[in-house]
Amino acid sequence: MGKPKVGIFGITGCGGCQLEILNLEDQLLDLINAVDIVHFTEAITEFSDDYEVALIEGSITTEHDVERIEKIGSIAKIVVAVGSCAVNGGLNCLKNLYGTEKANALVYGDKKEWIDTIDVKPVDAYIQVDHYVRGCPPNRLEIVDVVRSLLVGRNPEIPNYPVCIECKRNGNTCVYELGKTCLGPISRAGCNSRCPNSVSGCEACRGVIDDPNVNAQKDLLAEHGLSVKDIMEQFNLYNACKGKTIEQT
Amino acid sequence: MVLNAEKKETKKTIYTPDLATITQVKELTPTEKQFTIELDDVHKRKEFSFEPGQFVELTVFGLGEAPFSIPSSPNNKENFELCVRKIGNVSNALHNMEPGAKVGIRGPYGKGYFPYEKMQGKNVVIVAGGIGMAPVRSLLKVILEDRSSYNDFTLIYGCIDPNNILYKQEIEELKKSNDIDIKLTVDNPDDQWDEHVGVCTNLIPDLDYSPEDTFIVVCGPPIMYKFVILELEDKSFKPENIFLSLERRMECGVGKCNHCHIGNKLVCVDGPVFSLWEIRNLKEAI
Amino acid sequence: MLYKILDKNHHKEFLSNLVANVKMVGPKKKDDSCHDFTSIKDVDEIDTAYQKTTIPPAKKILFPSTENLVRFRLGETIESEGLLESSETVLFGINAWDIAGMNFLDRFFSTDFADENYIAKRKALTVIGIDTEPTETNFAHYMDSEYVIEGFDLYFTDLGDRFFVRIATAKGNALLDRFAHIKDIEENDLKDFNKYMNVYRKKFKLEINMKNFLDNFENIYDKKGVWEELAEKCYSCGSCNLVCPTCFCFNVKDDINLDLKTGQKMREWDSCMIPEYGLVAGEHNFRPSKENRLKQRYRCKLITYKEKYGKNSCVGCGRCIEACLAKINIAEDINAIKKEVNV
Domain ranges, ordered by start, for chain B = 18-109, 116-279
Q: Using CA atoms, how far apart are residues A61 and A116, in angstroms rounded to an integer?
A: 9
Residues C40 and C123 in one domain: yes
- B17 Cβ under 8 Å from any chain C Cβ: yes
Cα C167 to chain centroid, rounded = 21
Q: Which residue of chain B has the CA closest to C22?
A: B3
Shortest Cα distance from A237 to chain C (angstroms)? 21
Residue A248 has a pLDDT of 43
Taking residues B10-37, what's their average pLDDT?
A: 96
Q: Are C118 and B14 in contact (CB under 8 A)?
A: no
Judge if C81 and C24 occupy the same domain.
yes
What's the confidence (pLDDT) of residue C219? 84
Q: How many domains does chain A have?
A: 2
- How many beta carbons lie within 10 A of that of residue A60, not counting itself? 28
Closest residue by Cα to residue A123 from A76, A70, A159: A70
Q: Cβ C22–B59 below 8 Å, yes or no?
A: no
Nearest 5°: phi and psi at B229? -65, -40
- C-beta of residue C335 within 8 angstroms of C-beta of residue C217: no
The domain boundary, picked from A123, A152, A181, lies at A152
Rounded to an integer, the average pLDDT of B52-81 is 95
> pLDDT tens for residues B214-247?
999 999 999 999 999 999 999 999 999 999 999 9
Q: Where a domain ends, among A92, A127, A152?
A: A152
Q: What is the 3-state secondary structure (H, E, C) of C165-206?
A: EEECCHHHHHHHHHHCCEEECCHHHHHHHHHHHHHHHCCCCC
> Do A147 and A167 belong together in one domain?
no
**Contact list, C286 vs chain B (CB under 8 Å):** 222, 248-249, 284
| CA–CA separation, A146 and C191 (whole Å) | 65
Residue of C nearest to B89 (CA): C281
Per-residue pLDDT for chain C (343 aa), expressed as one digit of tens each?
Answer: 999 999 999 999 999 999 999 999 999 999 999 999 999 999 999 999 999 999 999 999 999 999 999 999 998 889 999 999 999 999 999 999 999 999 999 999 999 899 999 999 999 999 999 999 999 999 999 999 999 999 999 999 999 999 999 999 999 999 999 999 999 999 999 999 999 999 999 999 999 988 888 888 888 888 888 889 999 999 999 999 999 999 999 999 998 998 889 999 999 999 999 999 999 888 899 999 999 999 999 999 999 999 999 999 999 999 999 999 999 999 999 888 888 877 7
Sheet of B273-275: strand order equals B196-197, B181-186, B153-159, B123-129, B214-219, B242-245, B273-275
**A112 and A19 housed in the same domain:** yes
Please answer yes or no on whether A154 and B96 come within 8 Å at the CB atom: no
ipTM over 0.90: yes
A119 and A169 inside one domain: no
Q: What interhelical angle do A214-223 and A228-239 show, nearest 10?
A: 130
How much is the pLDDT for A246? 40
* Same domain assignment for residues A113 and A39: yes
The SS3 assignment for A242 reads: coil
Q: Are residues C88 and C232 in the same domain?
A: no
pLDDT value at position A127? 97
Of C69, C109, C284, the CB nearest to B15: C69
Q: Which residues of chain B neighbour A154 with C-beta distances below 8 Å?
A: 63-64, 89, 92-93
| Same domain flag for A193 and A131 | no
Residue of A nearest to C269 (CA): A169
| Closest-CA residue to C323 (of C269, C244, C223) | C244
> What is the spatial distance between Cα A126 and Cα A60, in angstroms, rounded to a whole number?
9
Q: Which of C201, C234, C250 is the last residue of a domain?
A: C201
The identity of residue C223, as a single letter, is: K
Shortest Cα distance from B209 to chain C (angstroms)?
A: 33
Q: Is B2 on the interface with C (CB under 8 A)?
A: yes
Q: Are B68 and B34 in contact (CB under 8 A)?
A: no
Task: For residue B219, give the nearest of B282, B148, B133, B161 by alpha carbon.
Answer: B133
Whole-angstrom Cα Rg for chain C: 22
pLDDT digits (tens), chain A, 249 positions: 578 999 999 999 999 999 999 999 888 999 989 999 999 988 888 888 999 999 999 999 999 999 999 999 999 999 999 999 999 898 998 888 888 888 888 888 988 888 888 999 999 999 999 999 999 999 999 999 999 998 888 888 888 999 999 999 999 999 999 999 999 999 999 999 999 999 999 999 998 899 999 999 999 999 999 888 888 888 888 887 754 444 443
- Say if residue C223 is in the same domain as residue C97: no
How close are the terminal C-alpha atoms of chain A, in Å? 47
Contacts of B92 in chain A (CB under 8 A): 153-154
Rounded to whole angstroms, the Cα distance separating C32 from A37 reads 48
B-chain CB neighbours of A153 within 8 Å are: 63, 92-93, 96
A211 interfacial to chain C (CB closer than 8 Å): yes
Same domain, C296 and C238: yes
- Residue finishing a domain among C201, C236, C264: C201
Does B91 touch chain C if contact means CB atoms closer than 8 Å? yes
Say yes or no: A17 and A137 in one domain: yes
Residue A116 lies in domain: 5-152
B61 interface with A at CB cutoff 8 Å: no
- Give which of B119, B140, B118 is closest to B53, Cα–Cα: B140
A152 chain-B contacts, CB cut-off 8 A: 62-63, 93
CB atoms within 10 A of CB C37: 25
| Radius of gyration for the alpha carbons in chain A, expressed in angstroms and rounded | 19
Does domain B18-109 match CATH 3.40.50.300?
Answer: no
Q: How many angstroms away from the CA of B268 is the closest CA of chain A?
A: 24
Sign of CA dihedral A63, A69, A72, A74: negative
Total domain count, chain C: 2
How many CB contacts within 8 angstroms connect chain A with chain B? Answer: 13
Cβ separation C30–A144 shorter than 8 A:
no
Asked if C65 reaches chain A (Cβ–Cβ under 8 Å), the answer is yes
For residues A12 and A135, membership in a common domain is answered with: yes
What pTM was estimated for this model as a whole?
0.94
From chain B, pick out residues whose CB is under 8 angstroms from the CB of A145: none
Whether residue C235 and residue A186 make contact (CB cut-off 8 A), yes or no, is yes
Contacts of B118 (CB under 8 A, 6+ apart): B215
The minimum CA-CA distance between C53 and chain A, rounded to whole Å, is 8
User: Residue C56: is the preceding peptide bond cis (ω within 30°)?
Assistant: no
Q: What is the pLDDT of residue B100?
A: 96
Are C232 and C170 found together in one domain?
no
**Was domain B116-279 assigned CATH 3.90.1150.10?**
no
Q: What phi, psi does B184 have (nearest 5°)?
A: -105, 145
Range of the domain at C243: 217-340
- Indicate if the pLDDT at residue B66 is higher than 90: yes
Residue among C88, C250, C299 minimizing CB distance to B257: C250
Examine the domain organization and report whether A182 and A140 are in the same domain.
Answer: no
Q: What is the pLDDT of residue A249?
A: 36
For residue C188, count CB atoms less than 10 angstroms from its CB and return exposed for 0-12, middle for 13-18, buried for 19 or more: exposed
DSSP state at residue A166 = H
Residues C49 and C196 in one domain: yes
Q: What is the pLDDT of residues A3-31, one digit of tens each?
A: 899 999 999 999 999 999 999 988 899 99
A64 and A104 share one domain: yes
Within a domain: residue C280?
Answer: yes
Collect all residues of chain A within an 8 Å Cβ-Cβ radius of residue C66: 169
Last residue of a domain, one of A152, A177, A193: A152
Residues 6+ apart with CB under 8 A from B25: B33, B34, B35, B36, B97, B98, B99
Q: Name residues 143-172 of chain A within 8 A of B (Cβ).
A: 152-155
Residue A16 lies in a domain: yes
CB contact under 8 A, B62 and C254: yes
Residues of A (155-174) whose Cβ lies below 8 Å from C: 160-162, 164-165, 168-174
Pairing outcome for strands B6-11 and C79-87: antiparallel
Q: Give the pLDDT of residue A77.
A: 96
Contact (CB<8Å) A169/C34: no
How far is the alpha carbon of C260 from chain B, nearest alpha carbon, in Å? 8
Q: Give me Rg for the CA atoms of chain B.
A: 20
The answer on C157 and C190 residing in a single domain is yes
In a domain, A158, yes or no: no
Query: Other CB atoms closer than 10 Å to residue C200's CB: what's the count?
Result: 18
Q: Which of residues C168, C201, C234 is at a domain's end? A: C201
Do A115 and A172 fall within a single domain?
A: no
For residues A226 and A203, membership in a common domain is answered with yes
Residue C207 distance to chain B (closest CA, Å): 25
Considering the domain boundaries, does residue C111 fall inside one?
yes
What DSSP string runs through C32-78?
SS-EEEEE-SSGGG-------BSS-HHHHHHS-SEEEEEEEE-SSS-
Whether C23 and C128 share a structural domain: yes
Judge if A80 and A172 occupy the same domain.
no
